[in-house]
Structure 1
Amino acid sequence: MINPDYPLASWFLAVSTSVFLVVYALPLMFIPLRWARWFGWELPTGNNDLTVYFARCLGGLALSVIIAVVQFIPDPKSHLVIFELIGLIGGLMTAVHIWGALKKQQPWTETAEIPLYGAMCLGALYLRYASLS
């Protein structure tokens, strides 16, 4: 499954999809309110249907990206656009988390994710434009 010609790119895709599957996609799809409590979110009292709906939508979107990315692990050089997509997601998630930190609207666990998303963005763009080109 790991491409011997491009092991760094294949490992990047394999590790990032595994982590995001376990930590974000599946919990958001199936246990969104429990996931929120694990990450330190204070849940409002009352009806949380909209919160659960949006969390499951985000989990479904994350799961869709993961399923697409897994297909490219054996041949990352032929699918450079996936690194651009991961870079874009990582960059936008970095911005979202910085915004939340500056507005003091998120628990510390979300702020702690800023370097993770930044590294994911930079790693994907490095692989796309420096390593695989």
Structure 2
Amino acid sequence: MIGLLGSHAPAFVLVFAAISSLVFGLPFILAPEGWGRAMGWRVPRDRDLLAYYARCLGLLTLSVNAYAAWAALHRPVMLIGYFIMLTLFSASMVPLHIYGWLRGEQPWTETAEIPVWAGVFVACLLFFPSGG
């Protein structure tokens, strides 16, 4: 299973980087309160900290996606970019969302992301870069 579709790894990384930038990165930066409400979070009265952390997370998302996209286009470093994407955007998201669910600290929409991130992890394994 690992690397079964590895020859398509660069395309997978580029598509994932674009989608996660549009769904997460930019909304976190441009409309953190609106994104939070849409996901079912209670937005606190003091929104400065919320906006700050959302902008930080959004810029981190865009930075990782930009590096992953660059790495996908430069074969010698693609594996490094792929590992960053695999760990940050798939493998770590499953336990993070399970933890929030078990503690009852997140809206249902975040809990619903558990199978989504698990699916992304499986896709990452399927598209794992193959060959040299």
TM bucket by the smaller chain?
0.7 to 0.9
Greater RCO (Cα-Cα under 8 Å, separation 6 or more): 2
C-alpha displacement of 1:122 = 3.1
C-alpha displacement of 1:123 = 2.8
Give the 3 Å change call, closer, same or farther, for CA 81–122 of structure 1 in structure 2: farther
C-alpha displacement of 1:125 = 3.8
Residues 49-76 of structure 1 show CA distances to partners (whole Å, capped at 9, x for unaligned) of: 1111011000010010111111133345
Pairing 1:95–2:85 present: no
Pairing 1:50–2:49 present: yes
Q: What's the counterpart of residue 132 of structure 1?
A: 130
Q: What's the counterpart of residue 3 of structure 2?
A: none
TM-score by length of 1: 0.83
How many residues in Structure 1 have an aligned counterpart in Structure 2? 125
Counterparts of 1:98-109 in structure 2 under 5 Å? 98-109=98-109
For structure 2, the 5+ residue unaligned runs are: 1-5
C-alpha displacement of 1:42 = 1.3
Whole-angstrom CA distance in 1 between matches of 2:100 and 2:111: 8
TM-score by length of 2: 0.83
Residues 65-120 of structure 1 show CA distances to partners (whole Å, capped at 9, x for unaligned) of: 11111113334564111221122111111111000111111111111111222222
Counterparts of 1:50-129 in structure 2 under 5 Å? 50-76=49-75, 78-89=77-88, 90-128=90-128
Whole-angstrom CA distance in 2 between matches of 1:7 and 1:38: 37
Q: Is the 8 A contact 2:40 2:107 kept in 1?
A: yes
Q: Is the 8 A contact 1:9 1:76 kept in 2?
A: no
RMSD, aligned CA: 1.9
Whole-angstrom CA distance in 1 between matches of 2:75 and 2:93: 23
SS of corresponding position for 1:105: coil
Q: Which amino acid aligns with 1:84?
A: F
Q: Is the 8 A contact 1:86 1:121 kept in 2?
A: no
Identity of aligned residues (%): 33
Q: Which amino acid aligns with 1:132?
A: S
